Chain A
Amino acid sequence: MSSSNQAGKIVRVAAGQGFWGDWLEAPRRQADGGQIDYLMLDYLAEVTMSILQKQKERDPKMGYARDFIGAVESIWPAIAERGVRVVANAGGVNPPACADAVRQSAERAGVSKSVRIGVVTGDDLLPRLDELIASGHPLANMETGEPLSTVRDRVLSANAYIGSTPIVEALSKKANIVITGRSTDTALTMAPLRFEFGWGAEDWDRLAAGIIAGHIIECGAQCSGGNCLYDWQNIPDLANVGYPIVEGAADGTFVIAKHPNTGGRISIRSVTEQLVYEMGDPHSYITPDVIADFTTIHLEDAGGGTDRVRVFGIKGRPPTDKLKVSIAYRAGFKAVGTLVYSWPDALAKAQLADRVLRERLDNLGLRFAKVLTEFVGASATHGPLAGEPGDPPEVQLRFGVRGEDKATVERFTREIAPLVLNGPPSVTGFAGGRPKVEEIVAYWPALVDKSVVQTRVEVLG
C-alpha cells in the first residue's frame, strides 16, 4: 500500500468489553453512538480459560464467552448493514463452537448472507502438553522456576498467548467477525490498525503504537473516567460513561476519544492512570508481535478539554522468540467466612472472635496451608498504614483458610455460625450462611518457543 492513499485516513477501533462480566450495554452503545470501524471485545483474564475448560469438559459445545453472543445480537444491524467489523477473544478454549453459536444467531436475525466469521485456533496446548514436555519444553513457572511436570496431573488448561498475525489474515480474507482463543488483549486492537494501514511485520514503531493503543482501551472505561482517582468527584455522568475509541492514523499516532453525549472523561490524567495499570518494566512491554517501550509515549490534549487525547512518539523493537503460556491447575481449596461486629469496641470484639476461632481450629487439629484474618473497616486493605481506626460503627471479621484437603476446609466452614451464639457479643451479618468451599484454580505462567505454536485461520460464510 502506498502512503498517499493512506494519508488522512483514520481508522476507529472501539472497545466494547474490558473483561468477561463487563457492562452488557457497552457493545451496543459503541456500535450505535457514533461512527466506528471496528468493535474490539476483550473477554479473557488469567483464570478465565480454566473456567471455560471446565465448561467444555461438561459440554463439548461450550467453553467460550457466552456474553459474546448477546453482544453480537445487540449489534447485528451495525455489522450487517453498516460494515462494523468485530474482533474478539471470545472463543476461549472453543473458538469453533463460539463461531457456530454466532452463525446460528446470524441466521435467527436473517443476516447470515452478510456475515463472514473468521476463526483463529492453535493457541490451545492442552492436548500437546505431554508431547511438549517430552520433547524438551519444561514450561517452567516464570515466577518460581519449577518445571510444569510437578503439577502436570492437575493442569486444567494451557494456552499460548498469540499475536496479531492470524487476526490480520482473517481480516484480509474478508471476515467481518473474527473470533480467537487466547489472543493477547492488545492484539485485538493492533491487528485492525495493522491490517488497515498495511504495517509490515517488522514495522516495530507502528506495531508498538498499536499495542499501546490496545493497552489503553483493553480495560474499557478504565481510561475514560471509570476507576479514575484524579478528580473523581467531578467526573461527569458516570451512569452514561462513554467507552474509549482509538482513532488511528497510518503513521502510528492515534487519538483516544469517546462518542459525543456520553459521560466520563478522557484526559491526559485518565489515560495515564490506565497506561500504568498492571505495568511491569516500562521499557519492555513484551508481546508476540513487538516489544513496546512505554518510556517513549507522549500524550497531549487534542482538543482543549474535549475528551480527546493524542498519543505519539512510540518506539518498539523486535520481540523475543518465545510466547507466554497461560496454564491453569488445581491448587487445593479455600473458604472465607465473615461476621460483622458493632459499636462499641467493634474492633476488639472482632479480634476476640478471631482468637477464639483460631483456638477452636487448633483444638480440632485442623491444619491449613494458610490462615488469614482481616478486619474490614479497620485495616483490611491498608494494614498498619491505616493507623488507629478509633471506634468505628462496625468492623467485619473476614477469616480465610486454604489447604490441600477439601474435608479440612469443609470442617472450618462449620465453625463460623456457632460464634454468633457462643462468641463475643453484638454480632450480625451472617445471613449468607455457611461459607462456600471453592476449589482453587491457580495460574502458572510459562514460556514456550514460538516455533512450536502454529496458528490456523479459517473464514466461514
Chain B
Amino acid sequence: MNVRLVDIAHARSGDKGDTANVGLIAVEAVWYPVLERYVTRERVASHFRGIITGPVERYELPNLNALNFLLHGALDGGGTLSLKTDAQGKVFSTAMLRMVIEVPDDEAKALKLPGSKKWPTYQRSPKE
C-alpha cells in the first residue's frame, strides 16, 4: 500500500550552516517502526536528489518516535550567503512529508495506516 508521510508523520526543519535538518515524527507511536524501516537514508537521498548537493545522514530517536535527517549542501551556502527563499531550511520539513513509501498491505492493515489512493508515487521526469 502507498502511504504518504504527511498522513502518518509531522516534521520540523531548521539549519546549521549549509545543512538543513529535518526531524520526522510519527503521529502515533506504533507507526514509528514504519518510519524507521522505510524512510531510509538512501530513500531520503533519492527524494532530495537534485535539490541538495551533499550526502544525507540519519539518526534514530525511538524515545521521541522520531528520526533526524541531516541534508548537507541544502541551502546554497546557508545563512546570509544563500539566495534562496528558504535560506534557513524552514520548509524542508514539508518537502520531506511529500514522500510516498510502499508498506506491505498486511503490515499497513495491522497498524491501521491511513493509505490513500489520492497520493500517487512521485515519478521524476527523465530530464530531472
Binding site for B on A (CB under 8 A): 46-47, 143, 227, 229-230, 269, 272-283, 294-299, 313, 331, 334, 336, 370, 372, 374, 376, 380-385, 387, 398, 400-402, 440-443, 445
Contact = CB atoms under 8 A, between A and B. Distances in A.
A273 B76 contact: no
B61 A374 contact: no
B122 A385 contact: yes
A18 to B, nearest CB: 12
A453 B65 CA distance: 39
B80 A276 contact: no
User: What 4 A-B pairs come out closest when comparing CB atoms?
Assistant: A276-B23, A400-B83, A278-B14, A372-B83
Interface residues of B, number: 45
B114 to A, nearest CB: 15
Contacts of A380: 84-86
Nearest to A278: B14
Interface of B: 10-18, 21, 23, 25, 27, 47, 50-51, 59-66, 68, 70, 76-81, 83-86, 91, 93-95, 98, 122, 124-125, 128
B51 A275 contact: no
Nearest to A230: B10
Given A370-B76, A443-B17, A276 B12 contact: yes
A277 B64 CA distance: 13
A272 B25 contact: yes
B83 A401 contact: yes
A374 B65 CA distance: 35
A178 B12 CA distance: 32
Given A230-B27, A383-B50, 6 more contacts: A334-B83, A372-B84, A374-B85, A382-B98, A385-B98, A440-B81
Contact of A374 (B15, B77, B81, B84): B84
B95 A385 contact: yes
A331 B81 CA distance: 8
Contacts of A334: 81, 83
B76 A372 contact: yes
Contacts of B61: 276, 282, 294-295
Contacts of B17: 143, 443, 445
B80 A47 contact: yes
Contact of B85 (A274, A376, A384, A441): A376
9 contacts: A46-B79, A275-B66, A281-B59, A295-B63, A331-B80, A372-B83, A384-B51, A440-B81, A441-B80
Contacts of A269: 10, 25, 27
B96 to A, nearest CB: 9
B63 A278 contact: no
B85 A229 contact: no
B93 to A, nearest CB: 7
Contact of B12 (A229, A401, A442): A229
Contacts of A383: 50-51, 95
B95 A276 contact: no
Contacts of A230: 10, 25, 27
A381 B82 CA distance: 13
B48 to A, nearest CB: 8
A129 B59 CA distance: 36
Contact of A277 (B12, B78, B86): B12
A379 B45 CA distance: 19
A178 to B, nearest CB: 27
A372 B83 CA distance: 7
A85 B66 CA distance: 36
Nearest to B50: A384
A272 B64 contact: yes
A274 B95 contact: no
Given A229-B93, A383-B50, A384-B50, A398 B85 contact: yes
Contacts of A374: 84-85
A158 to B, nearest CB: 16
B15 A278 contact: yes
Contact of A382 (B18, B80, B94): B94
Contact of B64 (A229, A299, A331, A442): A299
